[in-house]
Structure 1
Amino acid sequence: MVESPRINSVKLAIGLLAIAIVLGQSVWAQPVVTRLDSLFSARHNKSQLSGNVLIAQQGTVVYQRSFGYADRENKIRMTKPSRFHLASTSKLFTAVAILQLKEKGLIKLTDPIRKYLPDFPYTRITVWHLLTHTSGLPDFQIFEPYYQQDPKRILTNADLIPALKRYGKVLFEPGEKWSYSSPGTALLAAIVEKMTRLPFEQYLKKQIWTVSGMHHTYINSLSALVHDEKRVKNYAYPTLFSDSVQLADSIPRHQEFAQESGALIGPGLVVSDMDDLFLFDQALSAGKLLKPATMEEAFTPIKLNNGHYAQPEPFLGKTAFGLGWFILTEDPTRKVVLHTGKQGGLVSIFIRDLTRQQTFILLDNSESYGLNNTTLNAIRIVDNRPLLALKESLSFIYAKDIIKHGTDYAVSHFNQLKSDTLHYYLNLFELDYVGHQLMANHQAERGLETLRLLTQLNPANWFPYYSYGKALLTSGKKEEAAMSLAKSLSLSPGNKEVQQVVDQLKSN
């Protein structure tokens, strides 16, 4: 059949439009790629990035590069196939698995955990509470007594319920607050195993990784170590006051956490690379893993019992939480979901801008400083927005000052800089970490001075008094500890976490 001139002209117009779009993307992409490379290279040159970066737009990778060493001792460079432990970003696979079971009718999110795990000690906690971190369950502190008794013991999912029973009461009533609980995610993995009669890794491989084309992703556990020459080594600073990194598993604070969490499947332990994570992103976008309605539910901010939205501690801006996903809420015109992981020298960042179809993956193996802001600036480059000033942490400056120059200098310098909010920022939890790091490194008086400073900076917040009180108790200053803990309770009446330390103090 001979086509009419009109049809031919329409086809020609469509063809020219397609060429124009491709050319436009090429012209757009090159300056963006140049700016991205400038950003990440500058961070790497300042020892603030060591790892792999992938950025995609509308399903196409527009930037991908490796920085630094996968193995510093043997001078093995980072490469595209380098694989990383994902730490808490692993929780996304657990969330997807649970939602798949929901779609199949095998579970309901409103079901109590005891329906699937009869020995679970709390009757009111549901699957939804575990998935949204609103259960009131504690975090890895449930395993601290086991570590103290036997630092070599490998703790597994089988130890979860006994450890929870030993720990005692929940921190708050289910749905009352948002509080991160990795043991809660491990319980979800146990439910997956119970309902599918498959080992958790086998389920993930069959229903998520193979479906997504992720052929280089696996679980590496202390109870089942996997030899992989492409898996990077992790490096960290021995203290906040150190000038160089060393192997993370040689540092005591990381050794304890690795031992407590190293065989707990569900909240961590997944190993992957940037290409596999991008395939996971694309499988989600294509609806291969979950139905669109399920994903919409997962990406909707959850509300607490009081009707207010849950608000996790912001780390990439104002944040809400969905069914296993953090959700950025600062810009109501776009939907951005993500998860991050941090553990023993490694950092993973996985961001999906659903509105603009953008993906940002950053994997780092050297505990690099400022990665959150580096990622935010990468997003701003792609959006053609002004960059954020990469501020320095006042807490980390203070930490180095107090070791090199003493308390008086550190406090004076701190007070001098804290009003300069253009170049410096202050994070409550970072300064608290500095205080406890000082105490752990035989600098008790300096540590106590730091935690005391924190109470002065945040006089209306219960947490600094609680943290200071615990540190005083550790130092044998029971009377002072009692006063600080009483102040904490007055600011947060009924706080079970504080009350447990008060009860411990009274029993001694």
Structure 2
Amino acid sequence: MSRRKSREIKRRRRIIGYSGLLIVLIIIGAYFYQQKSSEPSSASVSASESKKQEAEKPNKYKAASHGKRSEDPPVNIVNSQDIDRYLKSIHFNGSAMIVKNGKVVIEKGYGLSNREKGIKNNSNTVYYIGSITKSFISTALMQLQEKGKVNVHDPLAKYLPNFPHAHQLTLFDLLTHTSGIREIDESQDKLTREQLMQKIGKNAQTLMFPPGTRWAYSDSNYSILGYIVEKVSGESLHDYIKQHIFKPAGMNHSGFGTHFNKEPYPSTGYKIKNGSMYTPDIPDFSQLFGCGDIYTTAPDLYKFDHALASGKLVSQESYQQIFTPFKATYGFGWYVDPGSVSSHGVLPGWNGLNSYGKNGKVYVVLLSNIQNNIKSFGIVNNTIYTKLANDPSL
């Protein structure tokens, strides 16, 4: 074999060897590439896991659906054009919350919350509710009675031994406005609780009538009861109501006094005099203690009603006591009619009515920031009840 031929054979063998090696390397490389591509990258694992973790997190907006700010936006619900037209026709200026058989019939604002700035009322506008506050005080008293800390038939002397006629008066007399204690002139002076009790006591040196014999509405009765709530609970009245009534009822747009101005949608109160609209002065809230210092929204007040009627706030026995009228169809902080219960409140610039049917099927809440443009909220309330009863679609 020639040398040239031998070199040619060796060269071919080397080429074949290299080719074989190259093929093996290609096969091995392809194998590892396939394995690698079949696994998710660390970035995709992280993204996938992140999505899974995000899905498992509670939705902060849902969890805070009763939150105090943007999580609870105003709504505009009208499921009765008839009632909506009626409220417009009487120039209702405020917010309405009307519910029948668990269905929202009306939840919206009407007119302006601030006339100077042209700001409209909405479902979450807050209003001072005046004497509707008393229904919260009576609820607090009944809760404390259930805990054995107080009894509505206790003499006032047990809690305020130095108060005039304290041995004659009972908490029942105060709750039912049959104490004979006169109202004080509520001024713009800021008073401590003790100073307020002294002012009321000075005015109660002589009673209008023997306790329990007649009915005479007096804010002073409920200021005294609010003071007793503080004494027996060991909490301030406002803290007690926040924790034991607002919180379990889900009332997140409700509060006291000047905190009103920190709410997202405060209203300005107006009163009509000689055909002109103006903003009246209001007493210092320290003198409205227990009888008129709460603010709230129409939906929040509905939540209170529903919580009270459903047994979330007091027992059935307590509920019956609250709504058993004694004189003048008045129970504990509520007026009791044959088919419904209601509470009415006025503060200079604001006016409201809170009502629901005894069967728990109908709720009507009307809160207004014009004190006196509607002659009778009672008539408005009755008209709405009639319209609800006559509409078969509701």
TM-score, shorter chain, exceeding 0.5: yes
1:205 aligns with 2:265: no
Unmatched 5+ stretches in structure 2: 1-76
354-363 or 200-209, which deviates more: 354-363
Letter of the aligned partner of 1:200 in structure 2?
L
Q: Which position in structure 2 is the counterpart of 1:282?
A: 306
Letter of the aligned partner of 1:373 in structure 2?
I
How far apart are 1:342 and its partner, in Å? 0.9
Letter of the aligned partner of 1:131 in structure 2?
L
Structure number having the greater helix percentage? 1
Q: Is the 8 A contact 1:121 1:161 kept in 2?
A: no
Distance 1:196 1:63 in 2: 38
How far apart are 1:59 and its partner, in Å? 2.7
Distance 2:260 2:359 in 1: 39
Q: Is the 8 A contact 1:157 1:264 kept in 2?
A: no
> Match of 1:348, SS?
strand
Q: Which position in structure 1 is the counterpart of 2:334?
A: 325
Q: Which position in structure 1 is the counterpart of 2:230?
A: 193
1:375 aligns with 2:381: yes
Alignment counterpart, residue 82 of structure 1, candidates 118, 125, 131: 125
Number of matched residues?
A: 311
Aligned pairs for 1:160-175 (under 5 A) are: 160-167=196-203, 168-175=205-212
How far apart are 1:55 and its partner, in Å? 0.6
Distance 1:56 1:98 in 2: 28
Q: Deviations over 1:360-400 (max 9, x none)?
A: 00000012222332222111101129xxxxxxxxxxxxxxx
1:42 aligns with 2:94: no
> Match of 2:235, SS?
coil
Change (3 A) 1:31 1:217: closer
How far apart are 1:162 and its partner, in Å? 1.8
Q: Deviations over 1:248-296 (max 9, x none)?
A: 22xxxxx5xx24x654311011010011111111211221100112112
Letter of the aligned partner of 2:384 in structure 1?
A
Letter of the aligned partner of 1:381 in structure 2?
K
Higher relative contact order (CA 8 A, sep 6+): 2
Counting aligned pairs with the same residue, the percent is 27
Q: Deviations over 1:101-158 (max 9, x none)?
A: 11111111111111012221212111111111101101124x5xxx5xxxx5223432
1:115 aligns with 2:158: yes
Q: Is the 8 A contact 1:186 1:267 kept in 2?
A: yes
Q: Which position in structure 1 is the counterpart of 2:179?
A: 135
How far apart are 1:164 and its partner, in Å? 3.4
Letter of the aligned partner of 1:227 in structure 2?
K
Task: Give the TM-score taking structure 2 as reference length.
Answer: 0.75
1:267 aligns with 2:287: no
Q: Which position in structure 1 is the counterpart of 2:219?
A: 182
Letter of the aligned partner of 2:99 in structure 1?
A
Q: Is the 8 A contact 1:233 1:247 kept in 2?
A: yes
What CA RMSD, in Å, does the superposition of the two structures yield over aligned residues? 2.0
How far apart are 1:32 and its partner, in Å? 7.2
> Match of 2:356, SS?
strand
Alignment counterpart, residue 360 of structure 1, candidates 352, 356, 364: 364
How far apart are 1:62 and its partner, in Å? 1.5
Task: Give the TM-score taking structure 1 as reference length.
Answer: 0.58
1:70 aligns with 2:113: yes
Q: Is the 8 A contact 1:102 1:109 kept in 2?
A: yes
Q: Deviations over 1:1-45 (max 9, x none)?
A: xxxxxxxxxxxxxxxxxxxxxxxxxxxxx997121011111112x
Unmatched 5+ stretches in structure 1: 1-29, 250-254, 303-309, 312-319, 386-508
Alignment counterpart, residue 147 of structure 2, candidates 88, 104, 115: 104
Q: Is the 8 A contact 1:156 1:264 kept in 2?
A: no
> Match of 1:140, SS?
coil
Q: List, as ranges, runs of 4+ consecutive aligned residues in structure 1 with deviation greater than 4 Å.
A: none
How far apart are 1:215 and its partner, in Å? 1.2
Change (3 A) 1:200 1:356: closer
Letter of the aligned partner of 1:139 in structure 2?
E
Distance 1:225 1:208 in 2: 18
Which structure: larger Rg?
Answer: 2
Distance 1:159 1:189 in 2: 14
Q: Which position in structure 2 is the counterpart of 1:155?
A: 191
Q: Is the 8 A contact 1:109 1:127 kept in 2?
A: yes
Q: Which position in structure 2 is the counterpart of 1:244?
A: 276
Distance 1:243 1:226 in 2: 28
How far apart are 1:57 and its partner, in Å? 1.1
